[in-house]
A and B are shown apart, each in its own frame.
Chain A
């Protein structure tokens, strides 16, 4: 029996899941294929409809 979770993909969805679980006190392994996490959202300049900065 394990009480850890594996998350595959370090984009905005993977980051959010990781933080939610980690804040619950659950140990998380976040695996990302690319050298840095951030995913597609990190490539965005601003987000709609508020024009907030994406990073």
Chain B
């Protein structure tokens, strides 16, 4: 990533979108919209002081909304280019409110609220589409109750929980517990404010709030406006402190998730959604189970699937190692339903096809191995480029020329073409790069022969 930012031959245009493409192989005219960051990339030093001071807190998309970020943010810590961006949907200043704290904080004078989108015109010989994929939305499968049961998460969400740079610093806390902790924090803040207000009244009237409130309830001071306010503040205090104590008691029992269930083929190999196998999810689940076990050696995992497709060099060995050393049980069977039990524990109901019995099992957390779906913007991009998509919505290619799209000079690689894992994406990317380079070297060959 860093190399891309530094390479003299690469013009990196992040936070930009392709708007128009005209022409044909060897001579495409491309219009790119560079969206306004409201931060001048060349001035920003990436120190992050603005982010620290920004008062607006927003769910963090990079952490699958399990954590929060500010309205001025770096998409992720090691992101390239290492500059900040202001989110125009949430920034107070850009929404007409008084703020501008980031501008006052920035020593490099990089914040520019007047920045406008920029239109850039490019002339290129070839185009490579590497638009990637989207995670299948499992709420389309009602029986898995994703979003209804807090502790049912997608594989990519679980990945963020496992990551040392993620919202939980790599501790596998359950989303229900994370939400409860956030609630405690919020209640404590409000309680602090209320306690301060109560103290002011206590000092003024020289009486403890509790004693005053008893008198107030007995009908004293009923025509004193200020004491009425005091009483309502005290009621507010009582309304918060009770639930807060209860939540805190519950939170003492919170620990990391130790009983994990992985459900395979969520949206893939399913005729209701995507009939194809996404290919990488079996290995992804095994990897996550192994890493979770590394983080917390008491962790056990059950992987529910029709079969485990460990196709690749060293993959089968990895699967066996997971079973032998990382507490993974492979269960053959499709999960019929997920229910919510006590303590927000998901209960998985499934048929064990080896024993031909319907069973149910309680877990701390369920991870859904979601299908690789075409990215949302792909149909629009295909229209701009004039390329065709296949029946599933991925870029159409030919089996004997897997990186060539239906338009000469436009090539495709990675999950925009079909589901594939990292090494396959990298191999295809090199292949697409070579096809694009061919266009340019043919051009210069033709030029030379024309001269000769």
- A16→B10 CA distance, assembly (Å): 12
Chain B nearest Cβ from A28, distance in angstroms: 5
- B127 neighbours in A (Cβ, 8 Å): 5-8
Interface of A, secondary structure class, is: mixed
Q: Does B26 touch A at the CB level, under 8 Å?
A: yes
- A23 neighbours in B (Cβ, 8 Å): 9
- A50→B161 CA distance, assembly (Å): 20
Write the chain A residue with the least CB distance to B34.
Answer: A31
A8–B443 CB distance below 8 A: no
Binds A, one of B95-103, B174-182, B201-209, B408-416: B408-416
- A6→B4 CA distance, assembly (Å): 14
B9–A35 CB distance below 8 A: no
Binds A, one of B70-78, B192-200, B245-253, B350-358: B70-78
Closest 8 CB pairs of A and B: A13-B414, A36-B79, A14-B130, A16-B429, A9-B130, A22-B9, A20-B433, A49-B318
Q: Does B221 touch A at the CB level, under 8 Å?
A: no
A51–B287 CB distance below 8 A: yes
Most A CB atoms within 10 A — which of B12, B78, B434?
B12
Chain B nearest Cβ from A14, distance in angstroms: 4
Chain B nearest Cβ from A10, distance in angstroms: 7
Selected contact of A12 from candidates B125, B126, B425, CB within 8 Å:
B425
A6–B3 CB distance below 8 A: no
Binds A, one of B13-21, B232-240, B257-265, B297-305: B13-21
Q: List 26 A-B contacts (CB under 8 A).
A: A3-B444, A4-B122, A5-B440, A7-B130, A8-B127, A10-B12, A10-B14, A13-B130, A13-B428, A13-B429, A19-B3, A20-B433, A23-B9, A27-B9, A29-B13, A29-B32, A29-B122, A32-B12, A35-B15, A36-B74, A42-B1, A45-B164, A46-B287, A48-B318, A49-B315, A51-B290
Chain B residues within 8 Å of chain A by Cβ, number: 84
Write the chain B residue with the least CB distance to A41.
Answer: B422
- A39→B6 CA distance, assembly (Å): 18
Kindly list 5 other residue pairs between chains A and B, CB separation below 8 angstroms, not including A5-B436, A26-B440. A12-B422, A35-B74, A36-B79, A42-B79, A46-B162
Chain B nearest Cβ from A13, distance in angstroms: 3
B14–A11 CB distance below 8 A: no
- A4→B440 CA distance, assembly (Å): 8
Complex interface bits, B311-323 against A, C-beta within 8 A gives 1, otherwise 0:
0101101100000
In chain B, positions 270-298 with a C-beta closer than 8 Å to chain A are 283-284, 286-287, 290-291
- A22→B205 CA distance, assembly (Å): 76
A12–B414 CB distance below 8 A: yes
Known contacts A6-B30, A36-B80; decide if A30 and B156 are in contact (CB<8 Å): no
Chain A nearest Cβ from B159, distance in angstroms: 5
Write the chain A residue with the least CB distance to B86.
Answer: A35
Write the chain B residue with the least CB distance to A55.
Answer: B78
